[in-house]
Amino acid sequence: MNAILYLIWRSLVGIVRNFKKKKGQLVLVVFLVVIFGVMIVGNNQVDDLAQWIPTDYLTTAYATIVLIVAALTIDNGIKKGSSSYRMADVQFVFPSPISPKLILIYGFLKQFAISILVVLWFVFQSFNIRNIFGLTAQGFSVFLLVTFIVVMYMPVVSMWLYSITLRKQGAKRIMQRIFLGLGAVLAIAIVTLTIIKGDPIEAAQIFLGGSYFQYIPILGWLVTLLNAAKLGFDTWTWISLALLVAGFVLILWRLLSSEIPFYEEVLKQTVRKEKQIAAKKGGMSNMNLNSKKARKATITYKGTGPKALFYRQLLEYKKAGFLLFDRVTVILLVLGVVGGYVLKNTGLPISIALYAAIYLNFIFAFSGKWVKEMNNPFIYIMPGTALAKLWYATAANHLKHLVDGTAIFVPIAILTKLDPVVTLGFILAYAAIGAIYIYADVLSRRVFGKLHKGNIANIFKMLCILFVLSPALVGYIIITSMFPDVILIQWLAPLGIVAYSTVINLLIMLFGKKIFVDVELI
Amino acid sequence: MLEIKGLTKKYNKLTAIDNVNLKVESATISILLGPNGAGKSTMMKCITGVLRYEGDIHVCGYNNKSSDARRRLGYTPEVPALYDLLTPMEHMEFIAKAYDIKDWEPKAEALLERFDLDTHKKKVGNELSKGMSQKVSICCSLLIDAEVILFDEPMIGLDPAAIRELKTVFAELRDQGKAVFISTHIIDSVQELWDRAFIMHNGKVERTINSGDIDNSELENIFFKVTGDSGQDTLS
């Protein structure tokens, strides 16, 4: 144990030392701690919340998300296991004489730290989540507890299922079929209910909110515990919490007592994880790391010089998916349909859709192809002006935002009978604000250099973007609420956001244009 | 062809390159030797213009950061970085378009064939081994028909056949009147090829040697004399 404790201790010391060396990072951490403090204090003092969506939707939405995440984690877990180790662990800890059980515990300790970080991320979202579902401060604490349990459970369950399937030949396939069958039953039930009720949201609510659901191990207990966020604790809540803790301990115990030959399996997952971390540090999304073989595709270059960057990126999009239609677009399309039904059922103002989409774009915006250009020397050494390189390296991303904006707003427009001109304005506003995210990212890399990398700088960047965006968004609210019945105003207001964003984009481009000139600035 | 005057590169307090002056002439193969951390790769990156520095670097009389210079400068980086979803031929097409090269296809095909990449033409960047990626990177730098071509540790990861082919390419480039500038720490790999050698140590070019001035076998001894103990871990 000494070696593991030493490793953990020295890693912590290393973090502190790093702050000593990189004072800029320390400043960012202090800044975030202050914001975090404000969030905690503010959360306890603010109880008069807007509640955009009925609290009942919380359980349904959360259960749906947990189901999807669980399905993906379990599927991946059965196939490859799970890992919270780094390559250095694989290189130094695994071949050492340290007991495999201790190594496993070390992995769980690391997972514990990750779970805490996930919970902290949700604390930053506290006002949004509380506002959307009208949760009290205590209710939100329950939400955080459930999230923590979910994040702790997923890798342990994955590893446990994986260890079971390792023992018998063919068990992996049987296990996958069982889960596939369960998924199919669930899907058929929700689709049938949707046909009967004519509304997928109501169908999901009936199915996932049913009282029998609490008897389903882990998922049912989680939902029961989450119900306490709105209804307070009762006997069933305590029983569910106790069952969740007992279940976790039991699975952990089973895992520790099993003989998993996990070196090779963990290695696969760790290599993948390293790629994810590298992608994240580079400011990219890791959503496309799962991508299978590249499709056959061709493109005709209709230009030379920096324009070649644009066509090459289009070729990559074609190879990875269907033109600019990829996994993110599908997710946004589904969210557009769900959002359309929520707006239709609740009668919420349509502007909520715009804000929600802009917020979602926050999450997906920093995954553009332009970020990858920085990892390759070609763009720096090729002929062309700095501004042309920046424009053509990001142009495909603007098209992608238009496609994604269409995926969100067209279903919403159909379901809520939104005016076509307003819909078009929303799509353009989505793309224009998406461009702000891109160029703010460019500028952030120019200004902060290597400091830019990492979660802390990302959060700081997001706060700055919110600050820049707020005049346009506030202006939009004021104008559209002052003249709710003047259709011309409703048409022009989204275009106002587009105009404002274009000016901001041009300014940021001018300041950040040298990003592809000097490799030291990133 | 390539002229460097008063080049100094600092990383905070560390001086990676200290007031270097050198010239790489047309129709020559120049090698940049030095132990690990001598500043070889930093110098290569300064020449390509991707790093900030003090001093002047000119390629065929143009400032190295200008588009005119970039059209005349080829570069094979130390670590190949390819696009994950592009095949070797698609990399070549992209480079041809980026540098506005006409009738590039026959040359691209010949280069890929020469480096045995034609048998891997369906593989994309993330499916290629390190050695194959290095070959693609070399082919890309050769496609642009540059006047000055930089190779930063080009032999690393290559199989013996590719190393032999690359050596032939170096000689051909010299015969075509190009200025070839190779950074390497494996003296054997450039033995009998080089016309001029620059030995770097602690960021300075400590010695410039013309091949006609010494016997080939003496280069290694001179290298150790210049670099002292730090050169010991560098040679093959």
pLDDT, tens digit (0-9, with 9 covering 90-100), for A438-490: 888 888 777 766 555 556 666 667 777 888 888 888 888 888 888 878 888 88
Choosing from B98, B124, B145, the residue where a domain stops is B145
Question: Is residue A140 domain-shared with residue A230, that is, in the same domain?
Answer: yes
Question: Is residue B206 domain-shared with residue B121, that is, in the same domain?
Answer: no
Question: Is residue B89 domain-shared with residue B206, that is, in the same domain?
Answer: no
Question: Is residue B57 domain-shared with residue B113, that is, in the same domain?
Answer: no
Question: Is residue A234 domain-shared with residue A329, that is, in the same domain?
Answer: no
Decide if A458 is inside a domain: yes
Question: Is residue B122 domain-shared with residue B169, that is, in the same domain?
Answer: no
Q: Tell me whether residues B45 and A519 touch, CB distance under 8 A.
A: yes
Question: Is residue A481 domain-shared with residue A368, that is, in the same domain?
Answer: yes
The pLDDT score that the predictor gives to residue B229 is: 59
Decide if A29 is inside a domain: no
Domain containing residue B34: 1-72+146-236
Helix (H) or strand (E) segment spanning residue A482: helix A455-482
The complex's ipTM works out to: 0.73
Q: Tell me whether residues B97 and A382 touch, CB distance under 8 A.
A: no
Question: Is residue B100 domain-shared with residue B184, that is, in the same domain?
Answer: no
Q: Within chain B, what is the greatest distance between any pair of CA atoms? A: 50
Question: Is residue A477 domain-shared with residue A387, that is, in the same domain?
Answer: yes
Q: Tell me whether residues A381 and B90 touch, CB distance under 8 A.
A: no
Question: Is residue B31 domain-shared with residue B110, that is, in the same domain?
Answer: no
- Contact with chain A for residue B94, Cβ under 8 A: yes
Question: Is residue A308 domain-shared with residue A275, that is, in the same domain?
Answer: no
pLDDT band at A262; cut points 50, 70, 90: low
Q: Tell me whether residues A518 and B94 touch, CB distance under 8 A.
A: no
Q: Are strands B62-63 and B28-33 parallel, antiparallel or unpaired?
A: unpaired
* Partner-chain residue, chosen from A303, A305, A381, that has the shortest CB–CB distance to B75: A381
The pLDDT score that the predictor gives to residue A81 is: 63
- Contact with chain B for residue A248, Cβ under 8 A: no
Decide if A273 is inside a domain: yes
Number of domains in chain A: 2
Cα–Cα dist B98/B144, whole Å: 10
Choosing from B116, B145, B174, the residue where a domain stops is B145
Question: Is residue A344 domain-shared with residue A277, that is, in the same domain?
Answer: no
Decide if A46 is inside a domain: no
Higher pLDDT, B192 or A145: A145
- Average pLDDT on A227-247 reads 87
Question: Is residue B139 domain-shared with residue B26, that is, in the same domain?
Answer: no
Domain containing residue A381: 299-521
Question: Is residue A514 domain-shared with residue A422, that is, in the same domain?
Answer: yes
Question: Is residue B153 domain-shared with residue B212, that is, in the same domain?
Answer: yes
Of B104, B68, B73, residue with least CA distance to B89: B104
Question: Is residue A403 domain-shared with residue A450, that is, in the same domain?
Answer: yes
Choosing from A222, A249, A281, the residue where a domain stops is A281
- Contact with chain A for residue B42, Cβ under 8 A: no
Choosing from B130, B145, B160, the residue where a domain stops is B145
Chain A residues whose beta carbon lies within 8 Å of the beta carbon of residue B48: 377, 380-381
Question: Is residue B101 domain-shared with residue B141, that is, in the same domain?
Answer: yes
Per-residue pLDDT of A152-185, as tens digits, reads: 888 788 777 777 776 676 777 888 888 888 888 8
Number of domains in chain B: 2
Question: Is residue A271 domain-shared with residue A310, that is, in the same domain?
Answer: no
Decide if A34 is inside a domain: no
Read off the CATH number of the domain in which B158 is found: 3.40.50.300
Decide if A288 is inside a domain: no
- How remote is the C-alpha of A41 from its chain's centroid? 26
User: How far, CA to CA in Å, does A509 sit from each of A404, A442, A451, A458, A513?
Assistant: 23, 8, 20, 19, 5
Choosing from A281, A311, A340, the residue where a domain stops is A281
Q: Tell me whether residues A378 and B140 touch, CB distance under 8 A.
A: yes
Question: Is residue B6 domain-shared with residue B62, that is, in the same domain?
Answer: yes
Interface mutation target, options B97, B104, B120, B134, chain A, most CBs of A under 10 Å: B97
Mean pLDDT of chain A: 80
Helices A386-416 and A327-346 cross at an angle (nearest 10°) of 40
Question: Is residue A251 domain-shared with residue A305, that is, in the same domain?
Answer: no
Question: Is residue B48 domain-shared with residue B140, that is, in the same domain?
Answer: no
Q: Tell me whether residues A377 and B70 touch, CB distance under 8 A.
A: no
Decide if A358 is inside a domain: yes
- Contact with chain B for residue A372, Cβ under 8 A: yes
> Could you tell me which residues are beta bridge partners of residue B54?
B8
Q: Tell me whether residues A381 and B85 touch, CB distance under 8 A.
A: no
Question: Is residue A192 domain-shared with residue A334, that is, in the same domain?
Answer: no
Question: Is residue A177 domain-shared with residue A315, that is, in the same domain?
Answer: no
- In the predicted model, is pLDDT for residue B223 greater than 50? yes
Per-residue pLDDT of A41-67, as tens digits, reads: 776 666 666 666 666 677 777 777 777
Question: Is residue B65 domain-shared with residue B106, that is, in the same domain?
Answer: no
Q: Tell me whether residues A517 and B65 touch, CB distance under 8 A.
A: yes
Decide if A354 is inside a domain: yes
Chain A residues whose beta carbon lies within 8 Å of the beta carbon of residue B104: none
Name every residue whose Cβ is closer than 8 Å to that of residue A69 and which is 6 or more positions away in sequence: A150, A154
